[in-house]
Amino acid sequence: MIAAAAFVFTIADENDTARLMADLALLLAPGDTVTLTGDLGAGKTFAARALIRYLAGDDALEVPSPTFTLVQAYDLPSFPLLHGDLYRIADESELDEIGLAPWPEDTVTLIEWPERAASALPADRIDVTLRHEAGRGESARIATVTGFGVAAAQAARLAALRRFLEGAGLGAAQRTRMAGDASTRSYARLAHDGESLVLMNSPRRPDGPPVHDGKPYSAAVHLAEDVKPFVAIANGLRARGFSAPAIRHADLDHGFLVTEDLGSDPVVAGHPPAPIPERYEAATDWLAALHGMQLPDTLPLPLPAASHAIPRFDVDAMLVEVSLMLDWYLPDRSVTVGPRTRADFFDLWRELLITRIAAAPATWVLRDYHSPNLIWCGARDGLARVGVIDFQDTVLGPAAYDLVSLLQDARVDVSEDTEIANLVRYTRARLKADPGFDAAAFAESYAIMSAQRNTRLLGTFARLNRRDGKPHYLRHQPRIWTYLKRSLAHPALHEVRDWYAARVPAPGR
What's the CA gap between 508 and 210, in Å, rounded?
30
What's the CA gap between 382 and 286, in Å, rounded?
9
pLDDT tens figures, 13-62: 999 999 999 999 999 999 999 999 999 888 999 999 999 999 999 999 99
- Do 320 and 431 reside in the same domain of the chain? yes
Asked if residue 272 is part of any domain, the answer here is yes
Q: Is-contact 6 145, C-beta < 8 A?
A: yes
- Which residue, of 141, 171, 201, is where some domain finishes? 171
Residue 222 buriedness (CB in 10 A; 0-12 / 13-18 / 19+):
buried
pLDDT band of residue 118 (cuts 50, 70, 90) is very high
Asked if residue 446 is part of any domain, the answer here is yes
Mean pLDDT of 349-365: 96
Instruction: With a cut of 90, say whether residue 128 has pLDDT above it.
Output: yes
pLDDT band of residue 93 (cuts 50, 70, 90) is confident
DSSP 395: E
pLDDT tens figures, 129-161: 999 877 777 889 999 999 999 999 999 999 999
pLDDT reported for residue 395:
98
- Do 162 and 302 reside in the same domain of the chain? no
**Whole-prediction pTM value?**
0.93
Inter-CA distances, 422 with 406, 450, 499, Å: 10, 15, 30
What's the CA gap between 22 and 8, in Å, rounded?
16
Could you tell me where the DSSP H helices lie in 144-276?
152-167, 217-220, 228-239
Asked if residue 180 is part of any domain, the answer here is no
- Do 332 and 474 reside in the same domain of the chain? yes
Instruction: With a cut of 80, say whether residue 305 has pLDDT above it.
Output: no
Q: What is the CATH number of the domain that holds 138?
A: 3.40.50.300
Angle at alpha carbon of residue 209, lines to 186 and 369, rounded to 5°: 45
Asked if residue 347 is part of any domain, the answer here is yes
Structural domain of residue 363, as residue ranges? 265-503
Report CA Rg, the chain.
25
Number of folded domains that form the chain? 2
- Do 462 and 323 reside in the same domain of the chain? yes
pLDDT tens figures, 452-462: 999 999 999 99
pLDDT reported for residue 509:
63
Asked if residue 136 is part of any domain, the answer here is yes
- Do 416 and 277 reside in the same domain of the chain? yes
Average pLDDT taken over every residue of the chain: 95
Q: Is-contact 327 357, C-beta < 8 A?
A: no
Asked if residue 104 is part of any domain, the answer here is yes
Q: Is-contact 235 226, C-beta < 8 A?
A: no
What's the CA gap between 456 and 420, in Å, rounded?
22
pLDDT reported for residue 182:
59
- Do 140 and 271 reside in the same domain of the chain? no
Mean pLDDT of 373-398: 97
Q: Is-contact 234 245, C-beta < 8 A?
A: yes
- Do 149 and 273 reside in the same domain of the chain? no
Mean pLDDT of 99-116: 92
Question: 3-state class of 448 per DSSP?
Answer: helix
Instruction: With a cut of 90, say whether residue 400 has pLDDT above it.
Output: yes
- Which residue, of 171, 188, 209, is where some domain finishes? 171
- Do 470 and 368 reside in the same domain of the chain? yes
pLDDT tens figures, 175-234: 999 987 657 899 999 999 999 999 999 999 887 888 888 999 999 999 999 999 999 999
Q: What is the CATH number of the domain that holds 321?
A: 3.90.1200.10
Asked if residue 198 is part of any domain, the answer here is no
pLDDT tens figures, 269-283: 999 999 999 999 999
Question: 3-state class of 28 per DSSP?
Answer: coil
Question: 3-state class of 99 per DSSP?
Answer: coil
- Do 325 and 443 reside in the same domain of the chain? yes
Q: Crossing angle for the helix pair 416-433 and 439-466, nearest 10 degrees?
A: 130
- Do 164 and 298 reside in the same domain of the chain? no
In percent, the amount of the chain with pLDDT more than 70 equals 99
- Which residue, of 171, 195, 211, is where some domain finishes? 171
- Do 274 and 167 reside in the same domain of the chain? no
Angle at alpha carbon of residue 109, lines to 107 and 111, rounded to 5°: 170
In percent, the amount of the chain with pLDDT more than 90 equals 85
Which has the closest alpha carbon to 286: 385, 409, 411? Answer: 385
